[in-house]
C-alpha cells in the first residue's frame, strides 16, 4: 500500500501518519450484544470482553494467547480487575468464539462474491462500451509518410556590397 505524501506548511508530517486501522465488521458487535451473560457484566469486564472480541476478529480469528499477561495486555486491564472477572470473560468468550468464526467466514465469502460480481460487471461494461464504439474508418489507399513542405533552411548567398572595407 502506498501512501501519498503531501508536504504543506500545515501538514508537514502527514506522510509519517499511520495507515488507517482495519474496520470492524458489524456482526461482531451484534453477536456480542445478543449474548445475555455479556450484557450482565460490569462495565470494566464488558470493556475487556469487547477488546478481546475485537482483537479476535481483527487477527482473522487466530487463537488467542493462553491465560497470562499477553491476554491481559490485549484487554488492557489492570491485574486486579482481570483476576476478578477472568473466569466470566473466558466462559463468555468460549461460547462466542465459534459464532464469531462462522460469522467471519460468512462475511469474507460475501465480500468475495460482491467483489467477483463487481469485476464481472466491469468486464461487461467494457465489452458493451467497445461494442458501442463506432469502427475506425479504413484508409482508401496505402498510407505513405509525407514529409512536410518547408522553406529552404539556408538562404541563397548574397553578394557583398561594393563599398565594403574587407575587399
What's the pTM? 0.60
Domain ranges of the chain: 23-131
Find cell 474496520 and name the residue: 23
DSSP 4-23: -----STTTTGGGSPPPPPP
pLDDT in tens, the chain (167 residues): 444 554 555 555 555 667 777 778 888 889 988 999 999 999 999 999 999 999 999 888 888 887 778 888 999 999 999 999 999 999 999 999 999 999 999 999 998 988 888 887 777 788 788 788 877 777 666 777 777 777 767 777 877 777 766 65
As a whole number of angstroms, the distance between CA 91 and CA 86 comes to: 9
Residue of 30, 86, 75, 80 whose CA lies nearest to 52: 75
Amino acid at each position: 500500500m502506498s501512501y501519498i505524501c503531501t508536504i504543506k506548511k500545515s501538514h508537514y508530517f502527514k506522510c509519517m501518519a499511520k495507515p488507517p486501522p482495519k474496520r470492524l465488521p458489524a456482526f461482531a458487535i451484534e453477536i456480542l450484544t445478543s449474548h445475555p451473560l455479556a450484557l450482565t457484566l460490569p462495565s470494566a469486564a464488558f470493556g475487556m470482553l469487547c477488546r478481546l472480541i475485537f482483537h479476535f476478529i481483527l487477527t482473522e480469528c487466530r487463537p488467542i494467547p493462553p491465560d497470562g499477561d499477553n491476554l491481559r495486555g490485549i484487554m488492557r486491564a489492570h491485574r486486579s480487575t482481570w483476576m476478578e472477572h477472568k473466569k466470566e470473560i473466558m466462559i463468555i468468550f468460549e461460547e462466542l468464539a465459534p459464532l464469531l468464526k462462522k460469522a467471519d467466514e460468512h462475511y469474507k465469502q460475501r465480500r468475495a462474491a460482491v467483489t467477483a460480481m463487481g469485476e464481472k460487471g466491469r468486464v461487461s461494461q467494457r465489452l458493451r462500451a467497445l461494442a458501442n464504439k463506432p469502427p475506425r474508418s479504413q484508409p482508401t489507399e496505402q498510407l505513405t509518410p509525407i514529409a512536410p513542405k518547408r522553406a529552404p533552411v539556408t538562404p541563397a548567398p548574397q553578394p557583398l556590397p561594393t563599398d565594403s572595407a574587407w575587399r
